[in-house]
Structure 1
Amino acid sequence: MSAEETVARARALYDARAKRVPIAPFTDADPALGMDDGYAVQRELVRLLVADGDRVVGYKAGLTSAAMQDMFGVGTPDYGPVLASTVYADGATVSCDAFIAPKVEAEIVFRLGAPLAGPGVTVEQARGAVAEVMAGLEIVDSRIEDWRIGLADTIADLASNGAVALAGPGLRAGACDPRLIGMVFSRNGETVATGAGAAALGDPVAVVAWLANVLGERGVPLKAGQLIMTGALHAAVPMGPGDTFVAEFDRLGRITLHVDGGRDTSRGSAREEGR
Protein backbone atom coordinates (compact mmCIF):
# COMPACT_ATOMS: atom_id res chain seq x y z
CA MET A 1 0.00 0.00 0.00
CA SER A 2 1.46 3.33 -1.03
CA ALA A 3 1.80 6.36 1.23
CA GLU A 4 -0.84 8.12 -0.83
CA GLU A 5 -3.29 5.25 -0.35
CA THR A 6 -2.61 5.23 3.39
CA VAL A 7 -3.40 8.92 3.68
CA ALA A 8 -6.53 8.62 1.50
CA ARG A 9 -7.90 5.74 3.55
CA ALA A 10 -7.23 7.51 6.84
CA ARG A 11 -9.00 10.61 5.50
CA ALA A 12 -11.98 8.48 4.45
CA LEU A 13 -12.29 7.09 7.99
CA TYR A 14 -11.81 10.57 9.46
CA ASP A 15 -14.68 11.89 7.35
CA ALA A 16 -16.86 8.86 8.18
CA ARG A 17 -16.35 9.52 11.91
CA ALA A 18 -17.20 13.20 11.53
CA LYS A 19 -20.29 12.68 9.35
CA ARG A 20 -21.48 9.43 10.97
CA VAL A 21 -21.73 7.91 7.48
CA PRO A 22 -20.06 4.51 7.00
CA ILE A 23 -17.79 3.63 4.11
CA ALA A 24 -17.20 0.43 2.15
CA PRO A 25 -14.57 -1.97 3.50
CA PHE A 26 -11.08 -1.27 2.20
CA THR A 27 -10.65 -5.02 1.80
CA ASP A 28 -13.45 -5.12 -0.78
CA ALA A 29 -11.25 -3.27 -3.23
CA ASP A 30 -7.97 -4.74 -1.99
CA PRO A 31 -8.39 -8.16 -0.30
CA ALA A 32 -4.61 -8.45 0.14
CA LEU A 33 -4.52 -5.73 2.83
CA GLY A 34 -3.09 -7.07 6.08
CA MET A 35 -2.38 -6.08 9.68
CA ASP A 36 0.58 -3.83 8.83
CA ASP A 37 -1.53 -1.94 6.29
CA GLY A 38 -4.28 -1.49 8.86
CA TYR A 39 -1.89 -0.12 11.45
CA ALA A 40 -0.37 2.28 8.91
CA VAL A 41 -3.83 3.73 8.25
CA GLN A 42 -4.58 3.78 11.99
CA ARG A 43 -1.44 5.81 12.73
CA GLU A 44 -2.37 8.38 10.08
CA LEU A 45 -5.94 8.58 11.39
CA VAL A 46 -4.68 9.13 14.95
CA ARG A 47 -2.41 11.88 13.64
CA LEU A 48 -5.43 13.64 12.12
CA LEU A 49 -7.49 13.32 15.31
CA VAL A 50 -4.66 14.53 17.55
CA ALA A 51 -4.14 17.49 15.22
CA ASP A 52 -7.78 18.38 15.96
CA GLY A 53 -6.95 18.60 19.68
CA ASP A 54 -7.68 15.08 20.88
CA ARG A 55 -5.10 13.02 22.76
CA VAL A 56 -4.29 9.37 23.41
CA VAL A 57 -4.98 8.40 27.05
CA GLY A 58 -4.51 4.66 26.70
CA TYR A 59 -5.08 1.65 24.48
CA LYS A 60 -7.72 -0.98 23.86
CA ALA A 61 -7.10 -4.56 22.85
CA GLY A 62 -9.45 -6.55 20.66
CA LEU A 63 -9.51 -10.14 19.42
CA THR A 64 -8.33 -11.32 22.84
CA SER A 65 -10.39 -14.51 22.75
CA ALA A 66 -9.52 -17.65 20.80
CA ALA A 67 -12.94 -17.62 19.13
CA MET A 68 -12.46 -14.14 17.69
CA GLN A 69 -8.92 -14.89 16.54
CA ASP A 70 -10.22 -17.99 14.76
CA MET A 71 -12.93 -15.89 13.08
CA PHE A 72 -10.35 -13.53 11.61
CA GLY A 73 -7.76 -16.22 10.96
CA VAL A 74 -5.09 -14.66 13.18
CA GLY A 75 -3.14 -15.81 16.22
CA THR A 76 -2.81 -12.47 17.92
CA PRO A 77 -5.01 -9.67 19.27
CA ASP A 78 -5.20 -6.23 17.71
CA TYR A 79 -5.11 -2.79 19.33
CA GLY A 80 -6.22 0.79 18.96
CA PRO A 81 -5.92 4.02 20.96
CA VAL A 82 -8.31 5.26 23.61
CA LEU A 83 -8.92 8.96 22.93
CA ALA A 84 -9.66 11.47 25.68
CA SER A 85 -12.78 12.70 23.88
CA THR A 86 -14.35 9.22 24.11
CA VAL A 87 -14.01 8.58 27.88
CA TYR A 88 -17.16 8.70 30.05
CA ALA A 89 -17.77 8.22 33.77
CA ASP A 90 -19.95 5.60 35.44
CA GLY A 91 -23.62 6.54 35.06
CA ALA A 92 -23.08 8.69 31.97
CA THR A 93 -25.69 9.09 29.25
CA VAL A 94 -24.64 8.77 25.62
CA SER A 95 -26.64 9.25 22.43
CA CYS A 96 -26.95 6.83 19.55
CA ASP A 97 -26.52 9.85 17.28
CA ALA A 98 -22.86 9.95 18.31
CA PHE A 99 -22.26 6.55 16.67
CA ILE A 100 -23.05 4.58 13.52
CA ALA A 101 -23.75 0.99 14.61
CA PRO A 102 -22.83 0.76 18.30
CA LYS A 103 -22.57 -2.29 20.53
CA VAL A 104 -21.56 -2.54 24.18
CA GLU A 105 -19.06 -4.82 25.91
CA ALA A 106 -18.00 -5.23 29.55
CA GLU A 107 -14.26 -5.30 30.22
CA ILE A 108 -11.66 -5.24 32.96
CA VAL A 109 -9.65 -2.02 32.75
CA PHE A 110 -6.23 -1.22 34.20
CA ARG A 111 -4.61 2.09 34.95
CA LEU A 112 -0.82 1.97 34.86
CA GLY A 113 1.22 3.31 37.75
CA ALA A 114 4.56 2.92 36.00
CA PRO A 115 5.73 3.01 32.38
CA LEU A 116 6.34 -0.13 30.34
CA ALA A 117 8.57 -0.20 27.28
CA GLY A 118 8.81 -3.37 25.23
CA PRO A 119 9.82 -5.57 23.62
CA GLY A 120 10.66 -8.17 26.25
CA VAL A 121 8.08 -7.18 28.90
CA THR A 122 6.94 -10.19 30.92
CA VAL A 123 3.53 -10.73 32.46
CA GLU A 124 5.03 -10.29 35.93
CA GLN A 125 6.63 -7.00 34.89
CA ALA A 126 3.28 -5.88 33.53
CA ARG A 127 1.60 -6.90 36.78
CA GLY A 128 4.05 -4.74 38.69
CA ALA A 129 3.26 -1.72 36.50
CA VAL A 130 -0.52 -1.89 37.07
CA ALA A 131 -1.73 0.50 39.77
CA GLU A 132 -5.51 0.15 39.58
CA VAL A 133 -8.10 -2.37 38.40
CA MET A 134 -11.51 -1.01 37.31
CA ALA A 135 -14.83 -2.09 35.86
CA GLY A 136 -15.37 -0.74 32.38
CA LEU A 137 -17.72 -0.71 29.41
CA GLU A 138 -16.65 -0.22 25.83
CA ILE A 139 -18.91 0.99 23.04
CA VAL A 140 -17.58 -0.60 19.89
CA ASP A 141 -18.58 1.06 16.64
CA SER A 142 -17.68 0.62 13.00
CA ARG A 143 -17.19 3.25 10.37
CA ILE A 144 -17.32 0.35 7.88
CA GLU A 145 -20.70 -0.44 6.32
CA ASP A 146 -22.75 -3.10 8.12
CA TRP A 147 -19.74 -4.27 10.16
CA ARG A 148 -18.43 -6.00 7.02
CA ILE A 149 -14.92 -5.83 8.36
CA GLY A 150 -11.78 -7.66 7.44
CA LEU A 151 -8.84 -7.58 9.81
CA ALA A 152 -7.19 -4.61 8.08
CA ASP A 153 -10.48 -2.70 8.12
CA THR A 154 -11.06 -2.98 11.87
CA ILE A 155 -7.44 -2.20 12.71
CA ALA A 156 -7.47 0.89 10.51
CA ASP A 157 -10.73 1.98 12.18
CA LEU A 158 -9.04 2.29 15.61
CA ALA A 159 -9.85 -1.36 16.33
CA SER A 160 -13.55 -0.42 16.07
CA ASN A 161 -13.35 1.74 19.19
CA GLY A 162 -16.27 4.10 19.82
CA ALA A 163 -16.16 5.14 23.49
CA VAL A 164 -15.41 3.81 26.97
CA ALA A 165 -17.03 4.26 30.37
CA LEU A 166 -15.08 3.72 33.58
CA ALA A 167 -16.14 3.00 37.15
CA GLY A 168 -13.99 4.44 39.85
CA PRO A 169 -12.17 4.39 42.07
CA GLY A 170 -10.97 0.89 41.31
CA LEU A 171 -9.13 -1.67 43.39
CA ARG A 172 -5.47 -1.38 44.19
CA ALA A 173 -3.44 -3.72 42.03
CA GLY A 174 -2.71 -6.94 43.87
CA ALA A 175 -5.99 -6.86 45.78
CA CYS A 176 -7.54 -9.41 43.40
CA ASP A 177 -6.66 -11.92 40.70
CA PRO A 178 -8.06 -10.43 37.45
CA ARG A 179 -8.37 -13.90 35.91
CA LEU A 180 -10.99 -14.88 38.47
CA ILE A 181 -13.18 -11.77 38.35
CA GLY A 182 -16.66 -12.81 37.27
CA MET A 183 -19.14 -10.48 35.55
CA VAL A 184 -22.88 -10.36 34.85
CA PHE A 185 -24.01 -8.02 32.06
CA SER A 186 -27.58 -6.78 31.65
CA ARG A 187 -29.54 -4.58 29.26
CA ASN A 188 -32.70 -2.97 30.62
CA GLY A 189 -32.70 -5.28 33.63
CA GLU A 190 -32.34 -8.51 31.62
CA THR A 191 -29.18 -10.56 31.86
CA VAL A 192 -27.71 -10.86 28.37
CA ALA A 193 -24.18 -12.12 29.03
CA THR A 194 -21.76 -13.39 31.64
CA GLY A 195 -18.01 -13.63 31.62
CA ALA A 196 -14.78 -13.85 33.57
CA GLY A 197 -11.41 -12.16 33.37
CA ALA A 198 -9.69 -15.25 32.01
CA ALA A 199 -11.57 -14.69 28.72
CA ALA A 200 -8.95 -12.05 27.88
CA LEU A 201 -5.84 -13.97 26.77
CA GLY A 202 -6.22 -16.23 29.80
CA ASP A 203 -5.19 -13.35 32.07
CA PRO A 204 -6.00 -9.65 31.52
CA VAL A 205 -2.50 -8.76 32.71
CA ALA A 206 -1.13 -10.72 29.75
CA VAL A 207 -2.93 -8.18 27.54
CA VAL A 208 -0.86 -5.41 29.15
CA ALA A 209 2.37 -7.28 28.48
CA TRP A 210 1.31 -8.00 24.89
CA LEU A 211 0.48 -4.32 24.27
CA ALA A 212 3.77 -3.15 25.77
CA ASN A 213 5.68 -5.50 23.50
CA VAL A 214 3.89 -4.82 20.22
CA LEU A 215 3.93 -1.06 20.80
CA GLY A 216 7.55 -1.27 21.88
CA GLU A 217 8.45 -2.82 18.54
CA ARG A 218 7.14 0.42 17.00
CA GLY A 219 9.05 2.59 19.47
CA VAL A 220 5.94 3.52 21.49
CA PRO A 221 6.09 3.04 25.28
CA LEU A 222 3.11 2.66 27.60
CA LYS A 223 3.05 5.58 30.04
CA ALA A 224 2.17 5.83 33.72
CA GLY A 225 -1.47 6.88 34.08
CA GLN A 226 -2.61 5.36 30.79
CA LEU A 227 -5.71 3.18 30.59
CA ILE A 228 -5.60 -0.35 29.20
CA MET A 229 -8.89 -1.88 28.02
CA THR A 230 -8.18 -5.60 28.12
CA GLY A 231 -10.88 -6.95 25.80
CA ALA A 232 -14.48 -8.08 25.93
CA LEU A 233 -15.54 -10.79 28.36
CA HIS A 234 -18.55 -11.73 26.18
CA ALA A 235 -20.12 -11.19 22.77
CA ALA A 236 -20.95 -7.54 22.05
CA VAL A 237 -24.57 -6.47 22.66
CA PRO A 238 -26.27 -4.03 20.23
CA MET A 239 -27.12 -0.61 21.67
CA GLY A 240 -30.33 1.33 21.01
CA PRO A 241 -32.09 4.49 22.21
CA GLY A 242 -33.39 4.26 25.78
CA ASP A 243 -31.20 1.29 26.74
CA THR A 244 -29.54 1.03 30.14
CA PHE A 245 -26.54 -1.27 30.45
CA VAL A 246 -25.22 -2.54 33.78
CA ALA A 247 -22.15 -4.70 34.31
CA GLU A 248 -21.73 -6.18 37.78
CA PHE A 249 -18.21 -7.36 38.52
CA ASP A 250 -17.03 -9.46 41.43
CA ARG A 251 -14.78 -7.29 43.64
CA LEU A 252 -14.90 -4.34 41.22
CA GLY A 253 -18.57 -3.46 41.71
CA ARG A 254 -20.99 -2.27 39.05
CA ILE A 255 -20.90 0.21 36.20
CA THR A 256 -23.91 1.71 34.43
CA LEU A 257 -24.32 3.37 31.04
CA HIS A 258 -27.53 5.02 29.82
CA VAL A 259 -28.48 5.64 26.20
CA ASP A 260 -30.48 8.75 25.32
CA GLY A 261 -32.90 9.06 22.42
CA GLY A 262 -31.88 9.46 18.81
CA ARG A 263 -32.22 7.20 15.85
CA ASP A 264 -32.51 3.47 16.36
CA THR A 265 -29.74 1.07 15.40
CA SER A 266 -30.05 -2.42 14.09
CA ARG A 267 -29.96 -5.34 16.50
CA GLY A 268 -29.49 -7.87 13.75
CA SER A 269 -26.57 -10.23 13.46
CA ALA A 270 -23.13 -8.82 12.78
CA ARG A 271 -19.72 -10.29 12.35
CA GLU A 272 -18.12 -8.13 14.99
CA GLU A 273 -18.82 -9.65 18.41
CA GLY A 274 -16.65 -10.02 21.45
CA ARG A 275 -13.94 -7.60 20.47
Structure 2
Amino acid sequence: MDTAWDIGRVADTLLEAERSRTARTSLAEEWPDLDVERAYRAQDLALRRRHEQGETTVGIKLGLTSKAKQQQMKGTEPSVAWLTDAMELDGDRPIPHDSMIHPRAEPEIVFVMRDRLRGPGVTAASALAAVGSVVAGLEIIDSRFAGYGFTLPDAIADNNSSGVFATGPVVRSTEGLDLALEGCLLEVDGAVVDSAAGASVLGHPAQALAFAANQLARRGHAIEPGWLVLTGGMTNAVPVEPGARIAAHFTSLGSIVLSA
Protein backbone atom coordinates (compact mmCIF):
# COMPACT_ATOMS: atom_id res chain seq x y z
CA MET A 1 0.00 0.00 0.00
CA ASP A 2 1.30 3.45 -0.91
CA THR A 3 1.58 5.51 2.28
CA ALA A 4 3.31 8.52 0.73
CA TRP A 5 2.14 11.86 2.07
CA ASP A 6 0.38 14.35 -0.18
CA ILE A 7 -2.07 17.26 0.25
CA GLY A 8 -5.13 15.02 0.18
CA ARG A 9 -3.76 12.68 2.80
CA VAL A 10 -2.91 15.59 5.12
CA ALA A 11 -6.45 17.02 4.85
CA ASP A 12 -8.16 13.66 5.32
CA THR A 13 -5.90 12.62 8.20
CA LEU A 14 -6.66 15.76 10.19
CA LEU A 15 -10.40 15.65 9.46
CA GLU A 16 -10.50 12.03 10.64
CA ALA A 17 -8.55 12.96 13.78
CA GLU A 18 -11.18 15.63 14.46
CA ARG A 19 -14.09 13.22 13.89
CA SER A 20 -12.57 10.48 16.03
CA ARG A 21 -11.18 12.80 18.74
CA THR A 22 -7.76 11.25 18.25
CA ALA A 23 -4.68 13.36 18.97
CA ARG A 24 -1.61 12.53 16.94
CA THR A 25 2.00 13.51 16.48
CA SER A 26 3.33 16.11 14.06
CA LEU A 27 2.67 15.48 10.38
CA ALA A 28 5.69 17.60 9.49
CA GLU A 29 7.93 15.14 11.29
CA GLU A 30 6.69 12.40 8.95
CA TRP A 31 6.55 14.61 5.86
CA PRO A 32 9.39 17.16 5.96
CA ASP A 33 8.11 18.69 2.71
CA LEU A 34 4.97 19.92 4.50
CA ASP A 35 5.72 23.63 4.30
CA VAL A 36 3.42 26.63 4.78
CA GLU A 37 2.29 26.71 1.13
CA ARG A 38 1.38 23.00 1.13
CA ALA A 39 -0.31 23.40 4.51
CA TYR A 40 -2.61 26.12 3.17
CA ARG A 41 -3.46 23.90 0.20
CA ALA A 42 -4.40 21.12 2.63
CA GLN A 43 -6.47 23.60 4.66
CA ASP A 44 -8.39 24.71 1.56
CA LEU A 45 -8.98 21.10 0.53
CA ALA A 46 -10.31 20.29 4.01
CA LEU A 47 -12.74 23.21 3.64
CA ARG A 48 -14.01 21.69 0.39
CA ARG A 49 -14.50 18.40 2.25
CA ARG A 50 -16.53 20.25 4.88
CA HIS A 51 -18.64 21.85 2.16
CA GLU A 52 -19.32 18.39 0.72
CA GLN A 53 -20.63 17.40 4.16
CA GLY A 54 -23.07 20.33 4.13
CA GLU A 55 -21.12 22.96 6.07
CA THR A 56 -21.12 26.60 4.93
CA THR A 57 -18.27 29.09 5.24
CA VAL A 58 -19.21 31.91 7.63
CA GLY A 59 -15.86 33.64 8.04
CA ILE A 60 -12.20 33.33 8.89
CA LYS A 61 -10.00 33.15 11.96
CA LEU A 62 -6.47 34.34 12.59
CA GLY A 63 -3.73 32.74 14.62
CA LEU A 64 -0.24 33.81 15.67
CA THR A 65 -1.26 37.44 15.96
CA SER A 66 1.07 38.13 18.89
CA LYS A 67 4.85 38.39 18.67
CA ALA A 68 5.21 35.84 21.46
CA LYS A 69 3.15 33.25 19.57
CA GLN A 70 5.09 33.91 16.35
CA GLN A 71 8.38 33.41 18.14
CA GLN A 72 7.09 30.25 19.79
CA MET A 73 6.06 28.78 16.42
CA LYS A 74 9.10 30.18 14.59
CA GLY A 75 6.83 32.09 12.22
CA THR A 76 7.24 35.63 10.96
CA GLU A 77 3.57 36.37 10.32
CA PRO A 78 0.06 35.35 11.44
CA SER A 79 -1.88 32.50 9.88
CA VAL A 80 -5.41 32.45 8.49
CA ALA A 81 -8.01 29.67 8.63
CA TRP A 82 -11.69 29.03 7.96
CA LEU A 83 -14.88 29.22 10.01
CA THR A 84 -17.98 27.23 9.11
CA ASP A 85 -21.50 27.24 10.51
CA ALA A 86 -20.82 23.91 12.24
CA MET A 87 -18.25 25.67 14.44
CA GLU A 88 -20.61 28.37 15.71
CA LEU A 89 -22.27 28.01 19.11
CA ASP A 90 -25.79 29.44 19.14
CA GLY A 91 -27.92 30.48 22.09
CA ASP A 92 -27.38 28.52 25.27
CA ARG A 93 -25.64 25.56 23.63
CA PRO A 94 -22.79 24.40 25.89
CA ILE A 95 -19.22 23.80 24.78
CA PRO A 96 -19.32 20.33 23.18
CA HIS A 97 -16.64 18.91 25.44
CA ASP A 98 -17.51 15.33 24.51
CA SER A 99 -16.70 15.97 20.84
CA MET A 100 -13.37 17.73 21.41
CA ILE A 101 -9.89 16.46 22.29
CA HIS A 102 -8.38 19.08 24.62
CA PRO A 103 -10.27 22.38 24.30
CA ARG A 104 -8.80 25.72 25.30
CA ALA A 105 -10.49 29.13 25.47
CA GLU A 106 -9.31 32.49 24.21
CA PRO A 107 -11.20 35.82 23.89
CA GLU A 108 -11.16 37.71 20.61
CA ILE A 109 -12.37 40.90 18.98
CA VAL A 110 -14.63 39.95 16.07
CA PHE A 111 -15.43 41.97 12.97
CA VAL A 112 -18.69 41.53 11.04
CA MET A 113 -18.02 42.51 7.44
CA ARG A 114 -20.22 44.96 5.55
CA ASP A 115 -18.24 45.03 2.30
CA ARG A 116 -16.20 42.55 0.32
CA LEU A 117 -12.51 42.91 1.13
CA ARG A 118 -9.87 41.60 -1.23
CA GLY A 119 -6.14 42.15 -1.38
CA PRO A 120 -3.48 42.87 -2.29
CA GLY A 121 -2.75 46.29 -0.92
CA VAL A 122 -5.31 46.33 1.90
CA THR A 123 -4.29 48.58 4.81
CA ALA A 124 -5.64 48.69 8.34
CA ALA A 125 -7.60 51.83 7.44
CA SER A 126 -9.17 50.38 4.28
CA ALA A 127 -9.89 47.12 6.11
CA LEU A 128 -11.67 48.93 8.93
CA ALA A 129 -13.71 50.90 6.40
CA ALA A 130 -15.17 47.58 5.14
CA VAL A 131 -16.36 46.51 8.60
CA GLY A 132 -20.03 46.72 9.47
CA SER A 133 -19.83 46.12 13.21
CA VAL A 134 -17.71 44.76 16.04
CA VAL A 135 -18.66 42.12 18.61
CA ALA A 136 -16.94 40.19 21.37
CA GLY A 137 -15.85 36.64 20.66
CA LEU A 138 -14.87 33.61 22.69
CA GLU A 139 -13.16 30.85 20.74
CA ILE A 140 -12.70 27.31 22.02
CA ILE A 141 -9.75 25.96 20.06
CA ASP A 142 -8.94 22.26 19.80
CA SER A 143 -5.72 21.03 18.20
CA ARG A 144 -5.54 17.59 16.62
CA PHE A 145 -1.94 17.30 17.87
CA ALA A 146 -1.12 15.76 21.24
CA GLY A 147 -0.26 18.34 23.88
CA TYR A 148 -0.60 21.12 21.30
CA GLY A 149 2.78 20.02 20.02
CA PHE A 150 2.94 21.11 16.40
CA THR A 151 4.94 23.01 13.82
CA LEU A 152 3.63 26.05 11.98
CA PRO A 153 2.67 23.99 8.88
CA ASP A 154 0.93 21.47 11.15
CA ALA A 155 -1.15 24.24 12.72
CA ILE A 156 -2.09 25.79 9.37
CA ALA A 157 -3.10 22.43 7.90
CA ASP A 158 -5.16 21.82 11.05
CA ASN A 159 -7.19 24.98 10.34
CA ASN A 160 -5.48 26.92 13.13
CA SER A 161 -6.73 24.47 15.78
CA SER A 162 -10.35 25.29 15.00
CA GLY A 163 -13.01 24.11 17.43
CA VAL A 164 -16.09 26.20 18.17
CA PHE A 165 -16.75 29.87 18.81
CA ALA A 166 -19.42 32.18 20.17
CA THR A 167 -20.07 35.89 19.73
CA GLY A 168 -21.54 38.30 22.24
CA PRO A 169 -24.87 40.14 22.19
CA VAL A 170 -23.41 43.68 22.17
CA VAL A 171 -23.03 45.01 18.61
CA ARG A 172 -21.02 48.19 18.15
CA SER A 173 -19.94 50.37 15.27
CA THR A 174 -16.22 50.88 14.85
CA GLU A 175 -16.79 54.62 15.19
CA GLY A 176 -15.85 55.89 18.61
CA LEU A 177 -14.16 52.65 19.65
CA ASP A 178 -10.45 52.50 20.32
CA LEU A 179 -9.99 48.81 19.63
CA ALA A 180 -6.30 48.91 20.51
CA LEU A 181 -7.35 49.87 24.05
CA GLU A 182 -10.37 47.55 24.23
CA GLY A 183 -9.68 45.51 27.35
CA CYS A 184 -10.71 41.99 28.22
CA LEU A 185 -10.69 39.85 31.37
CA LEU A 186 -10.75 36.07 30.92
CA GLU A 187 -12.42 34.23 33.78
CA VAL A 188 -12.62 30.53 34.64
CA ASP A 189 -15.11 29.45 37.30
CA GLY A 190 -15.31 32.98 38.66
CA ALA A 191 -11.56 33.59 38.88
CA VAL A 192 -9.74 35.98 36.53
CA VAL A 193 -6.94 34.01 34.86
CA ASP A 194 -5.68 36.49 32.26
CA SER A 195 -6.24 39.94 30.79
CA ALA A 196 -5.24 41.80 27.64
CA ALA A 197 -6.12 44.64 25.30
CA GLY A 198 -6.76 44.79 21.58
CA ALA A 199 -3.23 46.04 21.02
CA SER A 200 -2.03 42.51 21.73
CA VAL A 201 -3.40 41.62 18.28
CA LEU A 202 -0.71 43.01 15.93
CA GLY A 203 -0.99 46.40 17.62
CA HIS A 204 -4.60 46.78 16.45
CA PRO A 205 -7.19 44.19 15.32
CA ALA A 206 -7.60 46.04 12.01
CA GLN A 207 -4.01 45.10 11.20
CA ALA A 208 -5.04 41.45 11.53
CA LEU A 209 -8.00 42.02 9.21
CA ALA A 210 -5.77 43.68 6.60
CA PHE A 211 -3.24 40.88 6.83
CA ALA A 212 -5.97 38.28 6.34
CA ALA A 213 -7.33 39.99 3.22
CA ASN A 214 -3.88 40.20 1.66
CA GLN A 215 -2.93 36.63 2.59
CA LEU A 216 -6.19 35.20 1.26
CA ALA A 217 -5.72 37.07 -2.01
CA ARG A 218 -2.53 35.08 -2.59
CA ARG A 219 -4.70 31.96 -2.39
CA GLY A 220 -7.40 33.34 -4.69
CA HIS A 221 -9.91 34.22 -1.95
CA ALA A 222 -11.60 37.34 -0.58
CA ILE A 223 -13.36 38.18 2.67
CA GLU A 224 -17.07 38.30 1.84
CA PRO A 225 -19.89 40.55 3.13
CA GLY A 226 -21.54 39.15 6.24
CA TRP A 227 -18.53 37.05 7.20
CA LEU A 228 -17.17 37.02 10.72
CA VAL A 229 -13.46 37.63 11.27
CA LEU A 230 -11.97 36.36 14.53
CA THR A 231 -8.90 38.55 14.76
CA GLY A 232 -6.83 36.35 17.09
CA GLY A 233 -6.55 35.46 20.75
CA MET A 234 -6.02 38.45 23.02
CA THR A 235 -4.80 36.33 25.93
CA ASN A 236 -3.13 32.98 26.31
CA ALA A 237 -5.46 30.06 25.61
CA VAL A 238 -6.58 28.39 28.85
CA PRO A 239 -7.69 24.75 29.21
CA VAL A 240 -11.43 24.08 29.43
CA GLU A 241 -12.23 21.27 31.85
CA PRO A 242 -15.58 19.41 31.85
CA GLY A 243 -18.16 21.43 33.77
CA ALA A 244 -16.11 24.63 33.66
CA ARG A 245 -17.68 28.07 33.28
CA ILE A 246 -15.70 30.36 30.96
CA ALA A 247 -16.40 34.09 30.76
CA ALA A 248 -14.84 36.93 28.79
CA HIS A 249 -15.62 40.48 29.94
CA PHE A 250 -14.83 43.32 27.52
CA THR A 251 -14.60 47.06 28.19
CA SER A 252 -17.14 48.14 25.54
CA LEU A 253 -18.32 44.91 23.90
CA GLY A 254 -20.05 43.27 26.85
CA SER A 255 -19.56 39.74 28.15
CA ILE A 256 -19.73 36.18 26.86
CA VAL A 257 -20.29 33.25 29.21
CA LEU A 258 -19.97 29.61 28.12
CA SER A 259 -20.31 26.40 30.09
CA ALA A 260 -18.67 23.09 29.25
Indicate if the aligned counterparts of 1:92 and 1:256 stay in contact, CA closer than 8 A. Answer: no
Shift of 1:91: 4.6
| Corresponding residue SS for 1:186 | strand
250-259 or 139-148, larger mean C-alpha shift: 139-148
92-101 or 132-141, larger mean C-alpha shift: 92-101
Matching of residues 5-84 of structure 1 within 5 Å? 5-84=6-85
1:237 alignment partner AA: V
| Corresponding residue SS for 2:138 | strand
Corresponding residue number in structure 2 for 1:215: 216
Asked if residue 141 in structure 1 is aligned to residue 121 in structure 2, the reply is no
Matching of residues 1-275 of structure 1 within 5 Å? 5-89=6-90, 91-259=92-260
2:61 alignment partner AA: K
Indicate if the aligned counterparts of 1:104 and 1:239 stay in contact, CA closer than 8 A. Answer: yes
Structure 1, unmatched stretches of 5+, are 260-275
Q: Distance in 1 between matches of 2:25 and 2:259?
A: 30
Shift of 1:24: 2.3
Indicate if the aligned counterparts of 1:134 and 1:170 stay in contact, CA closer than 8 A. Answer: yes
Shift of 1:168: 2.1
Shift of 1:89: 3.5
What is the RMSD of the two structures over their aligned residues, measured on CA atoms?
1.4
Indicate if the aligned counterparts of 2:180 and 2:204 stay in contact, CA closer than 8 A. Answer: yes
| Corresponding residue SS for 2:37 | helix
Indicate if the aligned counterparts of 1:13 and 1:23 stay in contact, CA closer than 8 A. Answer: no
1:70 alignment partner AA: Q
Corresponding residue number in structure 2 for 1:271: none
Indicate if the aligned counterparts of 1:57 and 1:227 stay in contact, CA closer than 8 A. Answer: yes
Q: Distance in 2 between matches of 1:14 and 1:45?
A: 7
1:234 alignment partner AA: T
Q: For this pair of structures, how many residues does the alignment match?
A: 257
Q: Distance in 2 between matches of 1:78 and 1:241?
A: 29
| Corresponding residue SS for 1:215 | helix
Shift of 1:175: 3.1
Q: Distance in 1 between matches of 2:143 and 2:251?
A: 30
226-235 or 172-181, larger mean C-alpha shift: 172-181
Q: Distance in 2 between matches of 1:67 and 1:7?
A: 32
**What TM-score do the two structures reach when normalised by structure 2?**
0.95
Indicate if the aligned counterparts of 1:90 and 1:168 stay in contact, CA closer than 8 A. Answer: no
Instruction: Spell out, residue by residue over 1:167-202, the C-alpha distance to the aligned partner (whole angstroms, 9 max, x if none).
Output: 124111213111110111100000000000000000
Shift of 1:66: 0.3
1:63 alignment partner AA: L
Q: Distance in 1 between matches of 2:91 and 2:208?
A: 23
| Corresponding residue SS for 2:180 | helix
Identity of aligned residues (%): 34
Shift of 1:17: 1.3
172-181 or 196-205, larger mean C-alpha shift: 172-181
2:32 alignment partner AA: P
Instruction: Label 1:88 to 1:43 Cα distance change in 2 as closer, same or farther (>3 A).
Output: same
Indicate if the aligned counterparts of 1:90 and 1:167 stay in contact, CA closer than 8 A. Answer: no
Indicate if the aligned counterparts of 1:105 and 1:232 stay in contact, CA closer than 8 A. Answer: yes
Shift of 1:31: 3.5
Indicate if the aligned counterparts of 1:140 and 1:162 stay in contact, CA closer than 8 A. Answer: yes
